[in-house]
């Protein structure tokens, strides 16, 4: 069977690549091959446990693909041959392509913890069947230990706390929760929020073994502490699913991810890779950055889907800006770009400022929450490097304003003088909006240096 564009992988990257390719090249046949027939919206898996009453409501439907005229094949690809331009499925079926897009995602890796093979240890997989099985187990469990305090672990903990009968523990090896995305003051706030919601948080702790006979009974931490648990949820350890690519001779780089150029082209003719299986580079340093986000994946998918038959849009994927948002203990948190922590680590000199205001005005309006914005700017140029926010639900789109500012390399001066829309029910007051105020305060720090005796630095 000859199809002109084949996409392997049915996650967000694969779907958007297929839709984009079909919309840009309407005359081409586009086929998406996916292993999981009953996929779910991945970011909402934590909320399938309690919040979404019927987990079926989180199904990733085929309708948009079908409506667009994308063919769908459910099956496991066992190999592809770049010379023959062919893809072979487990069933023996062979498909031929003009262009191939790999969107194979990541696969979970179990950390080498003694006892990790026991019954009651779960990883998070992206099919409806596995999610429903996980939900059933969670509804029965009395004590759950979550290994890994990143976004997924924290979101699961927050969700699982809803069931008052369950005792929830989260164990994170680093000193702070989510410290790759946030500076200490935000990490501490997340810790408090989780704690207050009822999760027992163990930071700076490593799980050394999982105890029990056949079935999990407890986990042992490196400080000797023993946590009783009848269920363990492992939310660390994933790696790019690049075996197919490797066997086909494609160039792999850091973490086994597939090397791609800035238009998502692999080193092999007519083969593209997007999403979690493709190498992610940091926007500022261009270093490999194992940051796997559906939103970054879909941006790559739109790029690849547009450019498969020649570069048509000169917008390079210049690296991930690591734009995250989440909600923990009823508080929304978000981050994009560099933190002070990552600046220090990477040797970036920075100027930072934080501003706080109620997210409605006056702050007595019903539903008002404190909105906190921290911005980080490059020391000399004043170009924005990153931002972190906490507050109410408006955080979810406010971080996207910061994301846009980072991607368009806006300066502290532009943000300081920016016109924004404000409304009593929807935003902070125009006089105190923390987005503008943080920029204004940062600018004052640049200015302070200007007027300092002996300084020749100018801000204009």
Q: Which of residues 320-359 bind a copy of itself (CB under 8 A)?
A: 320-321, 323-327, 332, 334, 336
Smaller CB distance to a copy of itself: residue 308 or 334?
334
Closest separation between CB of residue 180 and a copy of itself, Å?
Answer: 15
How far is the C-alpha of 308 from the C-alpha of 300, rounded, in Å?
Answer: 12
Closest separation between CB of residue 115 and a copy of itself, Å?
Answer: 32
Point out which span in 104-112, 170-178, 316-324, 342-350 binds a copy of itself (CB under 8 A). Answer: 316-324
Site string for a copy of itself, 163-202 (x = CB under 8 A): ----------------------------------------
Point out which span in 97-105, 164-172, 209-217, 396-404 binds a copy of itself (CB under 8 A). Answer: 396-404
Site string for a copy of itself, 1-20 (x = CB under 8 A): -----------x--xx---x
Joined together, the tokens standing for residue 442 give: 């940062």
Under rule CB under 8 A, residue 396 binds a copy of itself: yes
Closest separation between CB of residue 317 and a copy of itself, Å?
Answer: 7
How far is the C-alpha of 37 from the C-alpha of 42, rounded, in Å?
Answer: 14
How far is the C-alpha of 94 from the C-alpha of 28, rounded, in Å?
Answer: 19
Query: What are the φ/ψ torsions at residue 287 (nearest 5 degrees)?
Result: -70, 155
Closest separation between CB of residue 34 and a copy of itself, Å?
Answer: 14
Instruction: Calculate helix-pair angle for 184-197, 151-160, nearest 10 degrees.
Output: 20
Distance from the Cα of residue 27 to its chain's centroid: 34
Smaller CB distance to a copy of itself: residue 205 or 352?
352
Under rule CB under 8 A, residue 38 binds a copy of itself: no
- Return the C-alpha torsion angle 412, 414, 417, 422, nearest 10: -100
Site string for a copy of itself, 220-249 (x = CB under 8 A): ------------------------------
Q: Say which residues have a Cβ less than 8 Å from residue 373's Cβ, sequence separation at least 6.
A: 354, 355, 356, 387, 388, 389, 398, 434, 435, 437, 438
Contact (Cβ atoms closer than 8 angstroms) between residue 402 and residue 389: yes
Joined together, the tokens standing for residue 97 give: 């392509």
Under rule CB under 8 A, residue 279 binds a copy of itself: no
Q: Say which residues have a Cβ less than 8 Å from residue 96's Cβ, sequence separation at least 6.
A: 1, 2, 3, 84, 85, 86, 87
Under rule CB under 8 A, residue 44 binds a copy of itself: yes
Smaller CB distance to a copy of itself: residue 8 or 181?
181
Under rule CB under 8 A, residue 296 binds a copy of itself: yes
* Position among 297, 308, 376, 385 found at the interface with a copy of itself (CB under 8 A): 297
Smaller CB distance to a copy of itself: residue 55 or 82?
55
Smaller CB distance to a copy of itself: residue 226 or 447?
447
Restricted to residues 51-110, the positions that interact with a copy of itself (CB under 8 A) are 51-52, 54, 57-58
Contact (Cβ atoms closer than 8 angstroms) between residue 92 and residue 187: no
Joined together, the tokens standing for residue 11 give: 């996650």
How far is the C-alpha of 400 from the C-alpha of 165, rounded, in Å?
Answer: 37
Restricted to residues 411-450, the positions that interact with a copy of itself (CB under 8 A) are 413-414, 416-427, 429-431, 433, 435-436, 440, 443-444, 447
- Could you tell me how many residues of this chain bind a copy of itself (CB under 8 A)? 86
* Position among 36, 210, 233, 317 found at the interface with a copy of itself (CB under 8 A): 317
- Return the C-alpha torsion angle 269, 275, 280, 283, nearest 10: 110
Closest separation between CB of residue 431 and a copy of itself, Å?
Answer: 5
Closest separation between CB of residue 76 and a copy of itself, Å?
Answer: 23
Smaller CB distance to a copy of itself: residue 233 or 322?
322
Joined together, the tokens standing for residue 80 give: 């592809």
Closest separation between CB of residue 49 and a copy of itself, Å?
Answer: 12
Joined together, the tokens standing for residue 353 give: 């400022």
How far is the C-alpha of 219 from the C-alpha of 309, rounded, in Å?
Answer: 52
Closest separation between CB of residue 319 and a copy of itself, Å?
Answer: 9
Query: What are the φ/ψ torsions at residue 165 (nearest 5 degrees)?
Result: -70, -20
Smaller CB distance to a copy of itself: residue 204 or 393?
393
Restricted to residues 359-388, the positions that interact with a copy of itself (CB under 8 A) are 361-362, 364-366
Under rule CB under 8 A, residue 285 binds a copy of itself: no
* Position among 127, 211, 407, 449 found at the interface with a copy of itself (CB under 8 A): 407
- Sequential DSSP letters for 331-385: EEEEEEE--HHHHHHHT--EEEEEEEEESSSSTTSTT--EEEEEEEEETTT-BEE
Closest separation between CB of residue 7 and a copy of itself, Å?
Answer: 14
Buried b (16+ CB within 10 A) or exposed e, 211-238: bbeeebbbbbbeeeeebebbbbbbbbbb
* Position among 84, 397, 455, 457 found at the interface with a copy of itself (CB under 8 A): 397
Closest separation between CB of residue 225 and a copy of itself, Å?
Answer: 32
Give Rg (Cα) of the chain: 24
How far is the C-alpha of 330 from the C-alpha of 161, rounded, in Å?
Answer: 12
């Amino acid at each position: 069977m000859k199809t002109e564009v084949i996409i392997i992988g049915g996650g967000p990257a694969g779907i958007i690549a297929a839709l984009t390719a079909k919309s840009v090249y309407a005359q081409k046949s586009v086929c998406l091959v996916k292993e999981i027939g009953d996929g779910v919206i991945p970011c909402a898996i934590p909320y399938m446990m309690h919040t979404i009453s019927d987990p079926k409501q989180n199904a990733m439907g085929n309708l948009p693909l079908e409506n667009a005229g994308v063919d769908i094949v459910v099956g496991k690809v066992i190999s592809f041959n770049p010379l023959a331009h062919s893809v072979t499925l487990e069933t023996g079926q062979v498909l031929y392509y003009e262009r191939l897009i790999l969107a194979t995602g990541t696969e979970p890796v179990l950390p080498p913890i003694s006892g990790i093979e026991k019954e009651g240890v779960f990883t998070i997989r992206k099919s409806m069947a596995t999610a429903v099985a996980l939900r059933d187990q969670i509804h029965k469990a009395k004590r759950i230990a979550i290994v890994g305090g990143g976004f997924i672990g924290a979101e699961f903990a927050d969700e699982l706390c809803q069931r008052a009968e369950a005792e929830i523990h989260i164990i994170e090896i680093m000193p702070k929760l989510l410290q790759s995305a946030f500076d200490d003051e935000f990490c501490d706030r997340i810790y408090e929020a989780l704690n207050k919601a009822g999760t027992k948080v163990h930071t700076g702790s490593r799980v050394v073994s999982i105890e029990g006979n056949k079935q999990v009974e407890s986990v042992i931490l490196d400080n000797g502490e023993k946590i009783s648990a009848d269920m363990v949820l492992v939310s660390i350890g994933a790696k790019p699913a690049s075996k197919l690519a490797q066997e086909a001779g494609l160039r792999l780089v850091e973490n086994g991810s597939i090397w791609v150029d800035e238009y998502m082209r692999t080193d092999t003719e007519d083969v593209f890779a997007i999403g979690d299986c493709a190498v992610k580079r940091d926007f500022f340093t261009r270093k490999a950055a194992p940051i796997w986000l559906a939103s970054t994946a879909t941006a790559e998918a739109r790029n690849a889907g547009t450019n498969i038959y020649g570069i048509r849009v000169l917008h390079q994927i210049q690296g991930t800006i690591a734009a995250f948002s989440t909600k923990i203990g009823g508080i929304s948190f978000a981050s994009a770009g560099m933190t002070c922590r990552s600046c220090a680590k990477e040797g970036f000199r920075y100027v930072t400022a934080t501003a706080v205001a109620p997210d409605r005005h006056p702050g007595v309006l019903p539903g008002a929450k404190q909105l906190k914005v921290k911005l980080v700017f490059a020391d000399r140029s004043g170009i924005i490097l990153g931002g972190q926010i906490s507050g109410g639900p408006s955080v979810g789109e406010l971080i996207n304003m910061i994301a846009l500012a980072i991607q368009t390399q806006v300066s502290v001066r532009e943000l300081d003088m920016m016109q924004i829309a404000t409304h009593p029910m929807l935003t902070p007051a125009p006089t105190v909006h923390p987005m503008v105020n943080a920029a204004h305060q940062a600018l004052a720090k640049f200015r302070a240096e200007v007027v300092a005796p002996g300084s020749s630095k100018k801000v204009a």
